[in-house]
Structure formats: C-alpha cells, structure tokens
Chain A
Amino acid sequence: MYFRRSAKIGTLCLLHESLTVNEKIFDWAFAWSLLPKLLDALIITVSATILGMALAMALGLFWAVLRKSKQPVLHWTATTIVEFFRSTPLLVQVYFLFYVLPDAGLRLTPFQTGILALGIHYSAYLAEVYRAGIESVPKGQWEAARALNLSRSHTFKAIILPQALPPIIPALGNYLIAMFKDTPMLSAITVMELLQTAKIIGAETFRYTEPLTLVGILFLILSLISAKMIRFTEQRYGY
C-alpha cells in the first residue's frame, strides 16, 4: 500500500519535472498567433462543405427521382450509381477525380475537385434519405392528386416534396455535419483546408500541438453551431 502510493507520487514528480524542463506543452501565445491563418483555412473548409452539400442535395434528389422512375433503365442506372458511390471510400473517390479528371480533359482546381467528390459521395446517401422522405408521404396524397388530374411531375413538386422534406431535415443535418468532418480528406489533394493548413504550420515550426488542437476546437465549435441551427430549422418547418 505504502509502496504503491510513493511510486505514484514519484511518477507525478517526474512528470512535473519534464513539464518544467521542456518547453511548455501548449504555448498560448503561439496558438493565438496561428488563429488568423487557421480562420482563413476555415473559410475554405466551410465553403467546401456548403457547396458540397448543395451539390449533394441536388444530385441526391435527382437520383431519388430517377429511382422512382417507372423506366427500368433509369431506375437501374440510378440504383447502380448510388450503390457504387456508397460502397467505395470517399478518399478513393477524391484521389480518383483528382488524377483522372485531368486525363479526361476536365481541368478543375483542387478545391473544385474536392467539392465535386464530396457532393457526389454524399449524394448517394442523400438519395436514400430523400427516398425515405418521399415514401413517408401517404399513398392517399398521390391518389388525391391523380383524381384531380394533376400531372405526375407537378404532383411530385407541389404535393409530395413539400411533405417529404420536413421529416428528413434532421437526417440532412446529420449528413451536413458528417460532410463537414470529412473535409480534411481534401488535404490529400492539396486543398488548403483546416487540416492541411495545420500540417503545414507544424512542418514549418515543428510544433503540432497548437495547430492540431485549434483545428479540433474549430471543428467542435462549428459542428455544435450547425447542430443548433438544424434543430431550429426542424422546429420551424416541421409540423
């Protein structure tokens, strides 16, 4: 009993010594000085998320509509595409677009390529979310619209979709946050988002603790804010 306690105190002393002997483990002044650079990178990260999500939402809806099509060719094409994007890693897709698109004659900046990759990858998940939303609308709504002779496309646009969207706001929000947290993948293709910027700072200064900690904190703050905003939207538009 006595021994154990003294051993514990011993390690604590050692730890304390190492802290004072070495430089400070977290240099607040240094961290503070990094903030402007990281906030610039944060803008890139947030823009990539917003643009990526916009693309994913549009494309996801497109897949969902195609999958509902009565034409077998359209249905199966969309299903195959969705399954393919859902079943392969985002990082592979990011690299693939980055190295293959230029060969195919499509020159995009790394940032644009990143948005495309995020948008396509997440569109596959969102297609499923939309599908669930569309299926949650009672069959009677389609029948009433049909009895009124409304066209299928107008029914979808004006009757079904406005009822399908409110219940899926939470799920869309989850994917927004998930995509936000996936943006560091874009560092693989030299997009100067948060992680890439932190890594470069680390390489230049040999200090990784401050930039990486700040990156974590920035992600945390923005994720929490987004979650709050999503909750608000949900309350506002849900019925």
Chain B
Amino acid sequence: MAIETPSDRIIQMQQVCKRYGALTVLEDLDIDIQRSEKVALIGPSGSGKSTILRILMTLESIDSGRVIIDGETLYDNQEGSTGSPISKQQVFQIRSKIGMVFQSFNLFPHMSVLRNITEAPIQVLKLSREEAEKQALELLDRVGLQDKVNAYPAQLSGGQKQRVAIARALAMQPKIMLFDEITSALDPELVAEVLLVLKNLGRETDMTLLMVTHQMHFAQEFADRIIFMEQGTIVEQGSPEKLFNQPQKERTRNFLKTVLEAT
C-alpha cells in the first residue's frame, strides 16, 4: 500500500487504540513526530506514555490504528480487523531504525560491558569484532565510562549501568532513540550523571529522541516539545515554555502543580 509520508515526519501514529482486556491504555491516539525532534512525554503513571514507546519498539502490538515509522508501515489496522501482518523482514527493518533504553537497564548480566555493547553490532549489523570494539570504546568515552570496559554489570552503580545501556542502544546506530523513564530506578544522586549524558546526546546528535520522564525540569530544558497525557489520550502539547508557563487545560495545570510541588 502506498502511503504518502512527508519526509519530515519520522513517526506517525494515527487513531491508535491499545487495550489490555477491559482496560483501555491508549484511545484514538494521534502523534506526529518530526525528524530530529526531541519530545518528552509526561503525565501520571498509567496514562499510556510507556506503552507508546513499547509499541514503537515492537514490544507491544496495537488493537487498531496505524503506525508509520520513517515511511514504513508498522501497523495499519482498522477497528475490528486484525489487519495484514507485515513480514518479519519488515519488522526487522523498522526495528533497526530504533533504539531503546529501559527503566530497569536490562543489561546482560553475564556479559562484560564491552560485550554488552558489541554483541548486537556484531550479530545484527555484521560489524567485525575490531570495528565493533572500536565503536564501543568511542561510545563508552562519550558516556564517560571508558575505564569500565571490562567490568560486569553487577560491579556498576545504577547510573553507570544506565549509561552503558545508552551506549549499547547507540551502538546500533538508530535514527530514533526511546528513553523509558530511564532515571526512575536510580538513587537521586545518580540521576544527574545520566541526564548529563542525555543532554550532551541531545546537543550532538540529529537523532529523533523520545523520552518518557518524571523529571520536569529536565524535560523543560531538553525537549523541543512536551506532550502531556492522561488516561490514554493527549491532553495538551506544545513547546516547554508554553506548556509549563501557560498551560491551557485545567488537568495540565493540576498535574504540573502536583509534580512541581513535590520536587
């Protein structure tokens, strides 16, 4: 099916619905994300923010709607039909454009830091060991952990683990990076080092960055656009200045008041 995709929109989600049994997680959700845009998803827990990232990473399917990533259709399901499943090869193709960093790190505990970062580039991108290791060292340098190259995940602090996880995702050379509450499992004093890596990344790269976060100040400083979600729908979105300083909706005001008072 030929779908008209303006090249400036790298992620398009249209009328996406996602349910777990009776629970509706996303309802008729529309999101467009521009190439190289940095977007922060905020909102109370259970509002469906993480689900969006998991759908894009193909870790979850959708019940209906349409998802197009970088011009390739991941889902095109009408309500009630199962839609035509795309081939494994196409899923592989789409996934190769996206990297994801998880709240709980999910490093491979039986592999050294180096191997955590080189495993997929060697297996999937078919890089030679030398190339993959060279790249891994550069990435570790970028996240400030070159001295941990031979360490095992269990020997690292939470902040260090998350920085390795970022390097691991970057090693796959994605166009889009998804960050799913990557500081939520960290002790408060370790949050800053991870956010610093993210800030530098945002400055240096032209990748599209999509993050779910509870760090409001960081989101305000980092993102081009903030999307505030509640109960599976977008309540309000806009530039950080606009959303944080002049929220239009009552619900947005209440949410911001609650979280900003807490921090």
Total interface residues on B, using CB and 8 Å?
24
Interface flags, B132-162, vs A, CB<8A=1, else 0: 0000000000000000000000100000000
What is the CA–CA distance of A122 and B154 in the complex, to the nearest angstrom?
35
B108-A149 in contact (CB<8A): no
B123-A150 in contact (CB<8A): yes
B96 at the interface (CB under 8 A from A): yes
Measured CB to CB, the nearest residue on chain A to B154 is: A239
B154-A148 in contact (CB<8A): no
Which residues of B lie under 8 Å from residue A146 when comparing CB positions?
A: 57-59, 95
* One of A141, A147, A159 near B99 (C-beta < 8 A): A147
* One of B59, B102, B119, B169 near A150 (C-beta < 8 A): B119
B110 at the interface (CB under 8 A from A): yes
Which residues of A lie under 8 Å from residue B98 when comparing CB positions?
A: 147
Which residues of B lie under 8 Å from residue A149 when comparing CB positions?
A: 92, 95-96, 120, 124, 172
Which residues of A lie under 8 Å from residue B154 when comparing CB positions?
A: 239
Shortest distance between the CB of B176 and any CB in chain A (Å): 12
A140 at the interface (CB under 8 A from B): yes
Which residues of A lie under 8 Å from residue B108 when comparing CB positions?
A: 141, 144, 159, 163
Which residues of A lie under 8 Å from residue B110 when comparing CB positions?
A: 162-163, 239
Which residues of B lie under 8 Å from residue A148 when comparing CB positions?
A: 119-120, 124, 168-169, 172
B106 at the interface (CB under 8 A from A): yes
Interface flags, A156-196, vs B, CB<8A=1, else 0: 00110011000000000000000000000000000000000
Shortest distance between the CB of B54 and any CB in chain A (Å): 8
Of A138, A147, A158, A163, most B-chain CB atoms within 10 Å: A147
Of B98, B120, B169, most A-chain CB atoms within 10 Å: B120
What is the CA–CA distance of A163 and B107 in the complex, to the nearest angstrom?
12
Question: What residues of chain B have their CB less than 8 Å away from a CB belonging to chain A?
Answer: 57-59, 92, 95-96, 98-100, 102, 104, 106-110, 119-120, 123-124, 154, 168-169, 172
Question: Could you give 24 example pairs across A and B, Cβ below 8 Å?
Answer: A140-B104, A141-B108, A143-B57, A143-B59, A143-B102, A144-B102, A144-B107, A144-B108, A146-B59, A147-B57, A147-B95, A147-B98, A147-B99, A147-B102, A147-B169, A148-B120, A148-B169, A149-B124, A150-B119, A150-B123, A151-B123, A158-B123, A159-B108, A239-B110
